[in-house]
Amino acid sequence: MKLLSYKPWRVVALALLCVGSAAWAQTKPRIEKAADLPRFTYKVDGPLEDIVRSAERFAPLAAAVRRDTESVVAGYDIPDKATRRDLLTQLAVLDFLDGRYDAALARAEEVRALQDKPADQMLSGLRLRMMAQAAKAQGREGEAYRRAVADNIARELAPLPFATIANDVRELKASAERTGEALILGRVREVMQPIATRTGELSSEFAPGLVFARYALLASLPLKQTFIAAFGTYLDAHRIVKQDIWAARDVALPPGEKFTPVRISVWDGGVDTALFGKQVLRDKSGKPLFIAFDKYSRPSKSMLLPLPKDVQARLPQMTARTKGFSDMESNIDSPEADEVKKLLSNLAPGDYRKVIEELGLIGGFEHGTHVSGIALAGNPYAQLAVARLEFDYKLQPDPCPSKTGALKDAAAAKATVDFFKAQKVRVVNMSWGGDVAGIENALEQCGIGKTPEARKALAREYYEIQKKALTEAFAGAPEILFVAAAGNSNNDPGFVEDVPAAIVLPNLLTVGAVDLAGDEASFTSYGSMVKVHANGYQVESYLPGGQRVALSGTSMAAPQVTNLAAKLLAVNPKLKPEDLVRIIVDTAERTPDGRRNLMNPKKALEAARPH
């Protein structure tokens, strides 16, 4: 499973021979799910870093990846735009690395034509396009080239509406600020190299990572300061604050009224219950009510993820880093942001694993508390029962996927939902998810399954065990509304089969993320599964210990809906999950583009009151 407060990076590259006739075009195999795409392997030997750095060693791999990717684009009917964007972006990067700048620009425009979000339509492939234009005119090195890239960016951004692109430009600047050589090559060394050393090959899930690593190392990194300055200059010249649409819609329930207490649960990485006082459900001895399982699906007695002693001793520093990431995303200069920039930009190769795993560990430690603060806000009638699951933060999977593990996960999920039923919980927030591709990738990392097809079959088996268990558990608790975060991969959770977001039940509601002004977040997943949208961009809430920090993700959007559902039940406890879904969805406001359905707590509460 993965957390949904950060934006994962994954590139899919696949292959099939291309037949170019019109008759074949009419009978192309149709890809209905991401798992239907073919899988291929690429022979690699020696240090993968050498392949990234050496033009001679990189060329054969690049040619094979290009051949396969082009044949997939031509040979399959792929209705999913996100998948087509990934494939075409990969080809555009290969074109740029080959010095085929006109082809790179043409591919980038193809990608842009597949974008649906307004900001993506404007900024899609911005850096690559500006670099390709500059390289055509000036060559790909030297001061004249760097100046041309900066001028191109300024000219491209100037006529665009700031309110639409502001968040994305901030993210582009933050991305450049934290980039460094060790960060670029760390995944190559720590994730891909062990696979290649063991097998002498990489699948089409991992091999394209070498293409993007070379592009980042040779093309983007030399322009780091150019990007920071160009995006920073633009942001400094546009200090307009977006209008907050949520303040006027929000409703806080006053204490002391004759409203009904409502039991909710945040099913997440754990909660610092000391922060929420009387809103925490307790047993007869006064101890918080909770159920917890570790990452091996073994029962745990800890409401928070246990931290190693050395990390616990550095917890203030780790919390400061969380604030630093937040400040960078908001384009705020702060000591914490400076520390993160220096940490990642100057990371020593030997420190990559430790630093990245610790960031993942702390993310899992903080996540549930942050989500809980959002879910409980403004509702003194909400009472929290904690349910903890544990997320794997290791670069090498721990545990590796297995049927035994899948069955244990399934049993833990059932036990957790049984806990909800026993405690009479009415709303459950789930800001996490996982898909079949994640299992398949972990199998390859673990050396399980001799061929891509063998791994595909195993991944499907394990995935279906877990999906079936979740679906049956939710269906067996018809009195509970389960609220799921849509995901942060800018794709369709139905197509990639992300659970729980892609589970279809009358008592499950999937939530997408927008920002303060209701504009669609760059990272939010979308599609028919997503029924309502809430603010998930730089939402302030608690970290363990009590510090308040703003985080972004559909993780932050889902508890806004959980919060609303609990308020509706406080006002009208007779509402069933189907009623809650209907009221929340029907009182939300559909935007003119049809992509967003913005929740409206004020209207929903009015509709929920008994008449």
Domain-located, residue 243: no
Nearby residues of 19 by Cβ (< 8 Å), 6 or more positions away: 75
Question: In whole angstroms, what is the distance from residue 414 CA to residue 594 CA?
Answer: 36
430 and 289 share one domain: yes
Domain-located, residue 255: no
Question: In whole angstroms, what is the distance from residue 381 CA to residue 279 CA?
Answer: 8
176 and 270 share one domain: no
202 and 274 share one domain: no
Of 236, 254, 288, the residue that ends a domain is 236
Q: DSSP letters of 76-98?
A: SB---HHHHHHHHHHHHHHHHHT
pLDDT of 3 > 70? The answer is: no
Domain-located, residue 242: no
pLDDT of 11 > 80? The answer is: no
Nearby residues of 456 by Cβ (< 8 Å), 6 or more positions away: 35, 39, 440
CB atoms within 10 A of CB 198: 12
pLDDT of 19 > 90? The answer is: no
pTM: 0.94
174 and 210 share one domain: yes
430 and 575 share one domain: yes
158 and 292 share one domain: no
Query: What pLDDT is stored for residue 7 in this prediction?
Result: 33
By CB atoms closer than 10 A (0-12, 13-18, 19+), residue 252 is: exposed
- CATH number for the domain harbouring residue 315: 3.40.50.200
110-166 pLDDT, tens digit each: 999 999 999 999 999 999 999 999 999 999 999 999 999 999 999 999 999 999 999
205 and 314 share one domain: no
Domain-located, residue 254: no
Domain-located, residue 591: yes
124 and 202 share one domain: yes
359 and 219 share one domain: no
CB atoms within 10 A of CB 498: 29
Identify each DSSP E strand in 129-210 by its residue range: 201-203
Print the domain residue range for 373: 262-608
Of 198, 220, 236, the residue that ends a domain is 236
Domain-located, residue 256: no
352 and 217 share one domain: no
Mean pLDDT on 597-601: 98
Q: How many domains does the chain contain in total?
A: 2
Mean pLDDT on 90-104: 98
Q: What phi-psi label fits residue 64: left (phi over 0), alpha (psi between -120 and 50 degrees) or beta?
A: alpha
405 and 301 share one domain: yes
Nearby residues of 237 by Cβ (< 8 Å), 6 or more positions away: none
Question: In whole angstroms, what is the distance from residue 611 CA to residue 606 CA?
Answer: 10
pLDDT of 587 > 60? The answer is: yes
209 and 356 share one domain: no
Domain-located, residue 245: no
**Pair 580, 506: CB distance under 8 Å:** no
Domain-located, residue 13: yes
Query: What mean pLDDT value characterizes the chain?
Result: 94
pLDDT of 23 > 80? The answer is: no
pLDDT of 582 > 60? The answer is: yes
CB atoms within 10 A of CB 572: 19
